[in-house]
Amino acid sequence: MIDETHDMSAVCWVPGADQHPDFPVQNLAMGIFSTRDAGPRPGIAIGDHVLDVGQVLTLLQDRAAEACNALHAADRLNALFALPAEARRAFRRAVFDLLSDAAWEKEASGALVPADVCTMHLPLAVRDYTDFYAGIHHATTVGSLLRPENPLLPNYKFIPVGYHGRSSSIRVSGTSVRRPSGQVKPAGADEPVFAQSQRLDYELELGIWVGGQSQLGTPVPIASARDHIAGVSLLNDWSARDIQAWEYVPLGPFLAKNFATTVAPWVVTAEALEPFRTSQHPRLQGDPAPLEYLSDKDDQAHGAFDIRVDVLLRSAKMRQAGDDAVLLGSVSATDLYWTPAQMLAHHTVNGCDIAAGDLMGTGTISGAEDSQRGSLMELSRGGRNPITLPNGESRTFLADWDEVIMMGWAEREGFRRIGFGQCAAIIAPA
C-alpha cells in the first residue's frame, strides 16, 4: 500500500540524502555491512551513508518491536524477512519517521557511517535459489539462435519455467568471478574436450527475496503470494555458453551456471516499491490465459514492477586509461512475461515450502530492440556479430579482467526516484 513513506515532498535530515539518485528517505534499502572496528550487521542506505540499525533500535522499539527484536545482534536479514509483512511495514514507517523528523537528528546522527568505509556482505543467508526464465524477449531471441523454427517451447506461455540453481556460489557485488572450465564440444568435433570457457556471459536479472514461510505440502495461493515477496536486488546469473551448449540436454544447465551468481548488496523492500507496481506483461492475441492457480485480477493489474536496469562493461584497458564503462543494454522489468507472484505461486503449487532467505531469479530480462538486450549471447547473435567498444576493442563474449556493472532504478511521476545500487564483478582468469 502507498502511504506517507512514499511522499515525494518528505525530506531527510541526513546531508545529501534528498538529492541522492538511489537512496533518499523514500527508499530505505537494507543490507549487511561491516567496518574495520565492527563485524557484519544490518544497515539502511540513506544518501551516501549507512544507518547502523543496531545503534537506533532503542529509538524504534516502541513502534516496531517485532522487527527490532529480529534485528537485535543480527548479522543477516533473515529473521526480519521471516516476519509477517505488516511487521516489516511497521519497521519501515518507524525508520522513515526517525530520518525525516529533525527532532531525532541529535540522537540518531551518531549511527550514520560513511558508505565509502563500509564493506558490504550478502544481505541474507541464502537458503535456496531458484532461477526462472520469465524474460520472453530473451527466451525468444536465444531460442531463435538455437531452434529457428520453434524459438519458444510449447510450455513457455503456460508455466513460469524455472530450474534449481546453486546457493553455495552466490556472492555479493564486488567479488571477482573466476572463469570456469568444463566439457565443451568444439564446432565440427565428434567428442568434447575439457577446456576453459571461451563464451562466458552475463545475464541481467532481478533477484526476488522471499519473506515469511510456508508449510511443506501447502501451496501459497497467488492472492497471498504478494505478502511473501520481501524485496528485490539486482542479480547477475553468469553463464558459460559453450559448456551449456554441450550439457543442457536433457536436464538443463549444470556446470554452465553453478560456478557463480552475483547479487547486489542492497535489498529494496517490497514496501518501497509499491508506487512502482504496474500491470502484468500484455498477452498477445492467441496466447493462452493463465491457469486458475496463476490468475489473480489484482496481480494482473499491479503485480509487475516498473524497474529499469542498465548493464555496462569496462575492460582492463578502459580502466587503465581512465575510461568510463560503456553501456551495453538498458532493460525494463515490465518485459517479464510472468510476475513475481506467479513465479512464487507456481513454485509452491506442488507443496514445495518456502522461507525467508530463499532467492528467486527472474531470468534474463531483455526487450525487443538491440539496445535492450540483457546478455552478450543476444547482442552478438551467438558470437557471430562482434561488439566494438569505444576504444576499438571488440567482444563477442567476456574477456579476462572485464568488469560487468549493473545499475537499476525505479521512477514514476509524483514519486521520488529510488535505486538499487550496483551489482558488479570482474572476470578473473581460470
Contact 393, 204 (CB under 8 A): no
**DSSP labels, 115-179:** GGGPEEE-SS---EEEEE--BHHHHHHHHHHH-TT-SS-TTTTTS--EEE--GGGEEETT--EEP
User: What cell numbers appear for 121 in the block?
Assistant: 556482505
CB contact set of 360 (below 8 Å; sequence gap of 6+): 129, 130, 131, 132, 162, 207, 208, 210, 340, 343, 344, 347
**Which H, E and C letters describe 329-384, residue by residue?**
EEEEHHHECCCHHHHHHHHHCCCCCCECCEEEECCCCCCCCHHHCCCHHHHCCCCC
Contact 372, 330 (CB under 8 A): yes
Neighbours of 382 (CB within 10 A): 19
Q: How far apart are CA 210 and CA 340, in angstroms?
A: 10
Contact 45, 100 (CB under 8 A): no
Candidates 49, 121, 138, 346; catalytic one: 138
For residue 33, the SS3 value is strand
Do the strands 30-35 and 38-46 form a parallel or antiparallel pair, or are they unpaired? antiparallel
Instruction: Determine whether 138 is an active site residue.
Output: yes
Positions annotated as catalytic residues are 138
